Amino acid sequence: MRWTLRPEVLDTLRRLFHIDSKDLEWVNGSLICKDAEIKSSTLILPGCMIVGEVEIGGNNVIGPYTVIGAPPQHRDFYSSKLPETGKIVIGNNNIIREFVTVHLPTEGETVIGDNCFLLAYVHLGHDVILGNNVTLSNNTQIGGHSTIKDNVITGLNTCIHQYTTLGAYSMIGMGSIVVKDVPPFVVYKNFICYKINEVGLERAGFNTSEIEEIKKYYKEFLDIDKITSLRVKKHLIDFLNTRNSNRKIAEVDIS
């Protein structure tokens, strides 16, 4: 079947997405920009919209009615004060469920790593960086310029303020509002990091001595140079070195 777009739809695409219909094509019921680079092993289910400068790796599943490549939700984009947007880069082996939105950056790239699981209605704002093995539960909303490190898990209806960093292996409790950076390896709920993410760390292969070192670091303010586990030290240093704002670090009260 040959699909056509009504004139008012074409006009909306031009005004809101700055896209010309000549740059689009219908593929199995989805509207995809001709310039999008998508590996053939990626499955795109009907009803999706993939526009703008987008690069998608292999073995991904993109659920119905997902939008990837919409312009940044930024007033300057529509007032022409914003220079050309960058690109979206999505890695391999990701599952992106229905009604997810991933926006183009205002600068640089919006990134999804490898082996991530984005549940229904997740929103990634402009310039968000997602690491590998990240799980974002239903309706997780991530503000622009935020960085989500490897192996982070968010609970249902999590809201993350723009320019926030979530450290590796942290877990964000259901319904949380995150307005400060969350350090690695902790569980965050009600504006406080209240325990070590022991279950998540054990599942990820951390041994007992590594978990005890993490506890000691937070409970006794252990000097980072005295940590013997190289991967524990790596994630702590990475968090401290890559925080991209003046946001404070969330309170840690590990009993």
Tell me: the pLDDT tens digits for 110-130? 999 999 999 999 999 999 999
pTM of the complete model: 0.90
- pLDDT (0 to 100) of residue 185: 98
Please state, in angstroms and as integers, the Cα–Cα distance from residue 140 to each residue in 3, 36, 168, 230, following that order. Answer: 33, 26, 17, 31
Reference 132, options 71, 57, 220; nearest CA is: 57
The pLDDT tens digits of the residues spanning 153-189 come to 999 999 999 999 999 999 999 999 999 999 999 999 9
CB 215 within 8 A of CB 229: no
Would 96 be classed as within a structural domain? yes
pLDDT score at 4: 64
* Domain-located, residue 2: no
Say if 209 falls within a structural domain: yes
Q: Tell me how far apart the alpha carbons of residues 90 and 93 are, in angstroms, rounded to a whole number.
A: 10
The set of residues, in sequence order, having a beta carbon less than 8 Å from that of 129 and lying 6+ positions away, is 109, 110, 111, 146, 147, 148
Q: Determine, yes or no, domain membership for 108.
A: yes
CA angle, residues 87, 106, 70, in degrees to nearest 5: 60
CA angle 245, 152, 174 (to 5 degrees): 95
State the CB neighbour count (10 A cutoff) for residue 228: 9
* Domain membership flag for residue 126: yes
Can you give the pLDDT at residue 189? 96
**CATH assignment at residue 87:** 2.160.10.10
pLDDT tens for residues 2-31? 556 677 776 777 766 767 666 777 788 898
Decide which of 82 and 198 is more confident: 198
User: Into how many domains does the chain fold?
Assistant: 1
Q: Quote the CA–CA distance of 15 and 203 in Å, as a whole number.
A: 48
Confidence of residue 1 (pLDDT cuts 50, 70, 90): very low
Q: For residue 55, what pLDDT band results from cuts at 50, 70 and 90?
A: very high
Residue 1: inside a domain: no
Q: Is 115 inside any structural domain?
A: yes
List pLDDT tens digits, range 200-219: 999 999 999 999 999 999 98
Counting runs of H as helices and runs of E as strands, what totals does the chain give? 5, 26
In a domain, 73, yes or no: yes
Which pLDDT score, from 0 to 100, does residue 223 have? 83
Domain that holds residue 168: 7-252
CB 176 within 8 A of CB 159: yes
If pLDDT is split at 50, 70 and 90, which confidence band does 137 have? very high
